[in-house]
């Protein structure tokens, strides 16, 4: 079975009511990234950081998968599908996708400030004094700026074996996630679903490999999935 790798970002969840981080009206509006998305910001004012992510967790718990998330599940009827997401929500999983890798962590989990490997499910607010199993303060299980992206190596291995790549809801502007698509085999076509047709500055990718669907995720992804399943896009065994 041929392998499709989906690189998803906040744009796919925006239609589920979850704000993006960077856009006007986004989650970072009114906040400094250095204050709420860095280890140093947490060290200066942990209450502010915890409150910021507690609010995101509430929003995620109240959200539902949209047609884009659900359509990607249908893709699994014909292909081996791996989703590599920059999102910290679990809408892909709740829609039913089986293989989801979170590059930047998961908001419905928490981890110890002392060990990145001490991770626990956590759906309530995190407060100062809430402790991990190792006795250290809990923090959101998210990757902040300046921290290593622990799943990057695994993600790279997956992309390197892709027969086709779908990019949805992300401009791939943030390193190191931005480097992933360049690891796809040169034979793999790349589909980009985005109403604004982002410009990718990737010299290693030939223009004839790029296929743009200039629609929002909730309409563009279902159309693409229908096309790929009905034609196998030349990928059938």
State the catalytic residues.
104
Report helix, strand or coil for 185.
Answer: coil
Alpha-carbon distances of 166 from 35, 152, 184, 209, rounded to whole Å: 33, 18, 11, 12
- Per DSSP, the residues of 60-128 read HHH----HHHHHHHHGGGTSEEEEEE---S-HHHHHT-S-EEETTEEEEEEEESS-TT-EEE--S---T
Report how far residue 86's alpha carbon sits from residue 181's, in angstroms, rounded to the nearest whole number.
13
């Amino acid at each position: 079975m041929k392998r499709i790798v989906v690189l998803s970002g906040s744009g796919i969840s925006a239609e589920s009511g979850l704000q993006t981080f960077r856009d006007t009206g986004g989650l970072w509006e009114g906040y400094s990234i250095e204050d709420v998305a860095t280890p140093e910001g947490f060290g200066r004012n942990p209450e502010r950081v915890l409150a910021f992510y507690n609010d995101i967790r509430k929003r995620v718990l109240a959200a539902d998968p949209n047609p884009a998330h659900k359509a990607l599940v249908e893709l699994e009827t014909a292909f081996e599908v791996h989703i590599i997401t920059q999102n910290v929500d679990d809408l892909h999983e709740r829609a039913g996708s089986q293989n989801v890798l979170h590059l930047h962590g998961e908001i419905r989990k928490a981890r110890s400030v002392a060990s990145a490997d001490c991770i626990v499910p956590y759906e309530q607010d995190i407060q100062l004094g809430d402790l991990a199993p190792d006795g250290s303060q809990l923090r959101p299980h998210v990757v902040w700026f300046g921290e290593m992206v622990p799943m990057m190596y695994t993600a790279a291995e997956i992309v390197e074996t892709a027969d086709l790549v779908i990019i949805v809801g992300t401009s791939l502007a943030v390193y190191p996630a931005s480097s992933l698509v360049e690891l796809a085999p040169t034979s793999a076509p790349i589909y980009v679903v985005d109403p604004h047709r982002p410009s990718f500055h990737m010299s290693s990718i030939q223009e004839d490999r790029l296929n743009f669907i200039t629609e929002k995720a909730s309409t563009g992804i279902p159309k693409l999935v229908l096309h790929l399943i009905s034609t196998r896009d030349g990928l059938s065994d």
